[in-house]
Structure 1
Amino acid sequence: MTVAVAIDHLQKSYGTTQAVKDVSFTVEQGKIFGLLGPNGAGKTTTIRCLCTLAQPDGGQIEVCGISALTQPKAVRQRLGYVAQEVAIDKILTGRELLNLQAALYHLPKSFIPQRVEQLLNALGLNDYADQKTGTYSGGLRKRLDLAAGLLHQPDVLVLDEPTVGLDIESRVAVWDFLRQLRAAGTTVIITSHYLEEIDALADSVAIIDQGQVIANGTPNELKDKVGGDRITLRIEEFTSAQDAEKAKEVVSALDFVESVIINGSQGNSLNLVVSRQGNHLSTIEQSIQAAGLPIFSLSQARPSLDDVYLAATGKTLMDAEIEAASKRDFKKEKKQQMKG
């Protein structure tokens, strides 16, 4: 195994806020690696340190065996970075922007036209290459940003939330292109809070929460570690907290149920882990109805990456997103009050 990226006990604070507490992972050469977690978990800070855009407070980072702390320029030559926010000059055409970016990379003049044309073809931008980028859709701007990050043929491509805000067609186009890059031997690192994106693309994944890695491995390895199948039970309406506990007590008594968690964001929803032997839905349905609780929905599935997150933190990724958003709103409100 050849390691393309190694991050060891990374730490980074901004004032009194510790954005990254302890992050460690390795990425194999020629693989797609996913860094998954809610907004505010520390993903972007980790990536900024990796790309030498922020100086870590502690830990080590190596790219292709080169220290990002002591040889940042050499590391930047091997990295392509596409930030979450697309920043392009709207008065330039797509071709002009790529030519400008290639010049900033100090690429050989004889090589630039060939490389620009190659990327325009690969990303389906030929029909738009000579249009001003201010007329581009969000999907086209993201593809152009990808092309700019690949001009210098980096060994490692780093993408921060590459498909945020894109429609399904544009998202699928980006996914297909990333698979092509992997097939050609490029190492790709993606940060995302889209579970299906990481599940569909990543050869290995690290799940980060509150600045720490809470799970690390291939998607299948992580799913296998959390046990049996998942059942989601939703009751039509809980009239009190006691009803939720009553439903939990009923299903917990069933011998094939391994664990039960009441979903924090939906008080009428329970997440069950059950043994993989057999279909247990009918037994659960009969037990809940016998307890006088009407069922709204009941489904069974293999574990997902959200189940991995739930097992590690006691909350779903959606719950974590809601919690993070509430904290941001609270901080914003406090600042406004202090200004007032």
Structure 2
Amino acid sequence: MGTCGSSLTPDEKQALSKSRSIEEKNANDHARDEMTIKLLLLGAGESGKSTIFKQMKLLYGKGFSDDDRRDWIPKIHMNAISAMRDLCSAVTRLGLEQKVLDQTAFAHMLDITERTELTSEISGPIKSLWSDPGILEVWDRRSEFQVIESNELYFRKIEQISARGYLPTDEDILASRVRTCGIVEETYVIENVEFVIIDVGGQRNERKKWIHCFDNVNAVIFVAALSEYDQMMFEDETQNRMLDTLLLFESICNSRWFQKTAMILFLNKRDLFAKKIMKKALTEVSEWHDYNGKSCDYDEGVNFFLQKFLEKNQQKNKDIYTHVTCATDTENVKVVFNASKDIILKFNLEASGFM
């Protein structure tokens, strides 16, 4: 003999409603626990997406073992050597040789060929040149040539990173630049959900490989470097990096592959952008002639580029979730990835009909 709904007491109705809510929550929790999220990190070369990828290992993996850290030593040494050699080459290119005080160290760095061992005969000249007015003037003009900005850390720490027994810190590893070739993948279990995180090379010649990763993607995090608004591409020094990134985002955002995929935009390198915009206003860069905000204003500059990206979205019913990030700041990445994770899970539960 059943009990019809109309004969239930108020307390029984409340209990039934609570029971249904619990059942629904349990079903959602089960669906969430059974879910595997395929997350694709996309962006142009040097945008910082591989740094985000390394942060995942620190935040959700086992971190870097001592063996891992030792493996990074030659890469870090090569970053420091190459960057200082690039600065010295730029001195010559810009005709500023006479402004360099330590001509011996300058000549020595120009003579160095490809090396990965940071010996005292190299670290000494690097230390001297990093305080040399000629080199510092060229560093301030670094948007005029190709150099990795994060290498400033290694110049400041040159004695430490060249010392016997040196073991790279998390900060050192995060600042290192090794060009991503092909496809790199790691799997992490985060709050009982399996995340397969995929990083792919961002240089133009690597982008043709992206299509192999597009199938069954649940979310895309597109990383764009705010600080590159006045820089030219490594592959084509006539093309502004930010313009290239905007075109790349437009193609990804509106791709048929990602019509039902959560799309998250990280406007990265906010720390470098904040420093640069105080010295070089957007109005000084011809590509941004339409900027009419305050000169050298960080917030208005960020909002200007945010709107540029959002305007590329041709699917008006598609939300773009945005964060302003610093990929080398572990706490910042933790906060924004947690927020992104919640968006991704909610988006995919709704797509599966559980919410």
Fold match by TM threshold 0.5: no
- TM-score, normalisation: structure 1: 0.24
Bigger RCO (CA 8 Å, 6+ sep): 2
> Would you tell me which structure has more helix in proportion to its own residues?
2
The structure with the larger Rg is 2
> Would you tell me which structure has more strand in proportion to its own residues?
1
- TM-score, normalisation: structure 2: 0.23
